[in-house]
Structure 1
Amino acid sequence: MATTTLLTGLLAVPALHAQQEQTDPAHSANADVTTLGEVRALKPEDDVPVDLYRFTSPVQPEPNAFNRSWREPPSLQEVGMRGGYVMMGINYAIAKTAQGLHTVTRAPDPIQPAIARPPPALDASQQRRALQFCDPQQGCAAQAGD
């Protein structure tokens, strides 16, 4: 008899606990809360420290003819990585010579724009056959009366 009472009590405890949770306003408020996914703060790519004493001009000039031909001089680190000033001069001369030969010989550019070919010209029998096998589910907009 004591065992039956104990088992009944153990089975009744979760049911009472569930009823208490349903009536608890704090529990119902937590059920309505939506949580956001993971948010990551990414570090900016340029790790240039902000110099508070550096002058920044409030005027930003419009791009002009000088901007096209202006190249910022390389830093000493870039010069060292490219083999020094002599090697950079040799590479510059080779590039300009290749550019001149390309202009003189009128050779086609290494990268050429794509030229689309015209669609195939179908005769009447080929068009009838194409309409016969046309499937509207695949985007074919053929009319059944043709």
Structure 2
Amino acid sequence: MATTTLLTGLLAATALHAQQEQTESADSANSNVTTLGEVRALKPEDEVPVDLYRFKSPVQPEPNAFNRSWREPPSLQEVGMRGGYVMMGINYAIAKTAQGLHTLTRAPDPIQSAIARPPPGLDAAQQRRALQFCDPEQGCAAPAGD
């Protein structure tokens, strides 16, 4: 039993000594390391999954009047991901119905262009105060009336 205790103590002391050496060597190694700046990996924008079974025409015609209404038919993978031809037909009918209702009701578009408000009209006291804080280096100029 005494030998077991002695061996356990020696093993623990050896492990403690090894840990101290590792931390000392890691600290000395960290002091010599130079760090680089931030690096960002950006995903390419034009990366599209390749459909090996889709025909690619070697002829690229110029844009014309038919380009507005032409939609490329979906691949079999897209049809499967959208729930099949029946679900795609239902969704298409719902979208066209919503578009027709939007036209009939003359509702505003969901996305509207911004309309800028006119600049505020300042009275004489406010204009004087604005001129006190005016910085010519930033393109601030005195009004023509003064």
SS of the residue 2:118 aligns to: coil
CA offsets 1:57-98 (integer angstroms, 9 cap, x no match): 3xx432111111011111111111100111001100100010
- Provide the C-alpha distance between the structure 2 equivalents of 1:91 and 1:47, rounded to a whole number of angstroms: 24
Alignment of 1:104-119 (within 5 A): 104-119=104-119
Q: Which residue of 1 aligns with 2:61?
A: 61
Where does the alignment leave 5 or more consecutive residues of structure 1 unmatched? 1-41
The answer to whether structure 1 residue 125 and structure 2 residue 125 are counterparts is yes
Where does the alignment leave 5 or more consecutive residues of structure 2 unmatched? 1-42
| Number of equivalent positions | 98
- Provide the C-alpha distance between the structure 1 equivalents of 2:84 and 2:137, rounded to a whole number of angstroms: 64
Whose Rg is larger?
1
TM-score scaled by structure 1?
0.57
- Provide the C-alpha distance between the structure 2 equivalents of 1:108 and 1:92, rounded to a whole number of angstroms: 22
- Provide the C-alpha distance between the structure 2 equivalents of 1:128 and 1:117, rounded to a whole number of angstroms: 23
How far residue 126 of structure 1 moved from its aligned partner, in angstroms, is 1.7
CA offsets 1:107-141 (integer angstroms, 9 cap, x no match): 00000000000001112222122112223344423
Residues 134, 108 of structure 1: CA spacing in aligned structure 2 closer, same or farther, 3 A cutoff? Answer: same
SS of the residue 2:131 aligns to: helix
Runs of 4+ in structure 1 over 2 Å off: 42-49, 54-57, 135-143
Residues 122, 74 of structure 1: CA spacing in aligned structure 2 closer, same or farther, 3 A cutoff? Answer: same
TM-score scaled by structure 2?
0.57
Aligned-pair identity (%): 84
Alignment of 1:38-57 (within 5 A): 45=47, 56-57=58-59
Q: Which residue of 2 aligns with 1:136?
A: 136
- CA RMSD between the two structures: 2.9
